[in-house]
Amino acid sequence: MTDRQSAGAVAAPDVARACASSGDVRPITQIDFARAGIVTPQMAAVAAAEGREPEAIRAAVAAGRIAIPANIHHASLAPAGVGSTLEGVPLSTKVNVNLGISGDLADEALEWEKVDVALELGADAIMDLSNSGKTRAFRRALVEKSPAMIGTVPMYDAIGYLEKALIAITPEDFLEVVRAHAEDGVDFVTIHAGMNRRVIESFKETGRLTNIVSRGGSLIFAWMEATGRENPFYEYYDEVLAILHEHDVCISIGDAMRPGSGYDATDAGQIAELIEIGKLTRRAWDAGVQVMVEGPGHMALDEIAANMKLEKRLCHQAPFYVLGPLVTDIAPGYDHITAAIGGAIAASSGADFLCYVTPAEHLRLPDANDVREGLVATKIAAHAADIAKGVPGARDRDNRMSDARRRVAWDEMFELSLDPARARAVFESAPPSTEGTCTMCGKMCAMKTVNDIMDGLVVDLDAE
């Protein structure tokens, strides 16, 4: 267990002291404790991991600028912070992996293989998007095993969990599913509460090329249309918040109206929902629940920076969790690249959390290799953004890599790589004839040539 994992597993701060600081109201959530002036072990762990002062983390959590998703039942969690300090200094950009059991490919062993890849490569979060059958055993085992924070979308699980047709599900049923996920220990849940009747009216009036592409959003839209009722997560939002507060589950307010094509980006439906999400953000904070806001989607390069600023303005600087954005719609099989391009721009422009996209996006359920490719691409985007936006210490690893390259220290290079196994395997697949070099340059290796000259050695570059 790492130091960060150990810090996440210790008991909560002394409740009596916290109660005395908060008017005899028992604090439960990270934001409760932060407002009571208490630095929790989770806040201390985030401060240590990010190289910040614990008080700076506490103050930002209290204000909603930083979220530390940390369900009170997730004992194996290594806490991670998402957002920035009150002074606007960003934490490192976090990366999420999606996986989960599908109705067409219900192979639990495959999902555990993906979990292993995600943890091996250092994913900060894993979202279990299982949507078929009885998924509770997998979810509970994932929470028990994973030091990464765990997220879910209860709406995906509702039909299988309740064994009811969508139209037969009641608002009380939806709340029951949210409660089950909270009790199981998930650290954040995506709740599509912003797509209310006003947003639907805007969507219908203006139209879209790709309509509603959010799976959870489409199910809620179908339920609303079939029943004639308001979005249950909007109508019963206070009840949702009460459940989340009881278990310290961070609400990730889902973007049901995110654009599914570049053509639909920044349209009336997306912005109407974002305005509603801003209102819901304040209500969650008032209820002592931490918030992240989810964002687009598909979007042209020149719209990304403005969208990041718009979210921060309308949602009161809440941490922003972004899927992609995918910057073109014509690259199936390579959408981990289109998303990484957009993700790098989004994170460098203010996004705090990137959801990975794999090469299988739009085509099929990803396999373990797709998870590896998508996660590494997104970690590259996140790290590149951290360098660009001046996250303290972000460039240190790059500098160590550059020094190792100068010294042609291959083992150090592999160790510093985002995917050490991949880097070593590529190098060893083509052994060089000149020791200490690679087959790209061989004896003409620039690093070796200059090193030898600096060491006073004779450099032999005669033709063979």
Is 355 marked as a binding-site residue?
A: no
Is 216 marked as a binding-site residue?
A: yes
Q: Percentage of the chain surpassing pLDDT 90?
A: 88
Is 455 marked as a binding-site residue?
A: no
Asked, for residue 18, whether it belongs to a domain, the answer is no
CA separation, residue 105 to residues 108, 212, 398 (Å): 9, 24, 40
Asked, for residue 89, whether it belongs to a domain, the answer is no
Is 294 marked as a binding-site residue?
A: yes
Question: What is the number of structural domains in the chain?
Answer: 3
Residue 459 is given by DSSP the state P
Model confidence, pTM: 0.93
Asked, for residue 406, whether it belongs to a domain, the answer is yes
pLDDT digits (tens, 9 = 90+) for 41-54: 999 999 999 999 99
Is 436 marked as a binding-site residue?
A: no
Is 441 marked as a binding-site residue?
A: yes
Q: Are residues 115 and 242 in the same domain?
A: yes
From 22, 55, 83, the end of a domain falls on 83
The pLDDT-based confidence of 461 (bands split at 50, 70, 90) is: low
Q: Are residues 240 and 363 in the same domain?
A: yes
- What residues make up the domain containing 440? 395-455
Asked, for residue 407, whether it belongs to a domain, the answer is yes
Is 127 marked as a binding-site residue?
A: yes
From 83, 108, 123, the end of a domain falls on 83
Q: Are residues 203 and 234 in the same domain?
A: yes
- For residue 6, the one-letter residue type is S
Residue 22 is given by DSSP the state T
Is 19 marked as a binding-site residue?
A: no
Is 257 marked as a binding-site residue?
A: yes
Burial class (CB within 10 angstroms; exposed 0-12, middle 13-18, buried 19+) of 24: exposed
Is 334 marked as a binding-site residue?
A: no
pLDDT of amino acid 25: 66
* pLDDT exceeds 90 at position 115: yes
Asked, for residue 13, whether it belongs to a domain, the answer is no
Q: Are residues 359 and 406 in the same domain?
A: no
Q: Are residues 431 and 379 in the same domain?
A: no
Structure tokens at 272: 């109407």
Q: Are residues 194 and 276 in the same domain?
A: yes
Q: Are residues 277 and 338 in the same domain?
A: yes
Q: Are residues 74 and 121 in the same domain?
A: no
The pLDDT-based confidence of 20 (bands split at 50, 70, 90) is: very low
pLDDT digits (tens, 9 = 90+) for 274-326: 999 999 999 999 999 999 999 999 999 999 999 999 999 999 999 999 999 99
Is 156 marked as a binding-site residue?
A: yes
Is 316 marked as a binding-site residue?
A: no
Is 35 marked as a binding-site residue?
A: no
Is 96 marked as a binding-site residue?
A: no
Long-range contacts of 411-418 (CB under 8 A, 24+ apart): 418/121, 418/376, 418/379, 418/380, 418/383
Asked, for residue 319, whether it belongs to a domain, the answer is yes
Q: Are residues 63 and 191 in the same domain?
A: no
Asked, for residue 6, whether it belongs to a domain, the answer is no
* pLDDT exceeds 50 at position 10: no
Q: Are residues 151 and 227 in the same domain?
A: yes
Is 445 marked as a binding-site residue?
A: yes
Report the alpha-carbon distance of residue 249 to residue 251 in Å, rounded.
6
Is 250 marked as a binding-site residue?
A: no
From 374, 389, 404, the end of a domain falls on 389
Question: If you average pLDDT over every residue of the chain, what do you get?
Answer: 93
* pLDDT exceeds 90 at position 216: yes
Q: Are residues 73 and 137 in the same domain?
A: no
DSSP string, 203-272: HHHH--SS----HHHHHHHHHHHHH-PPPHHHHTHHHHHHHHHHHT-EEEE--TT--SSGGGTT-HHHHH
Asked, for residue 7, whether it belongs to a domain, the answer is no
Q: Are residues 251 and 197 in the same domain?
A: yes
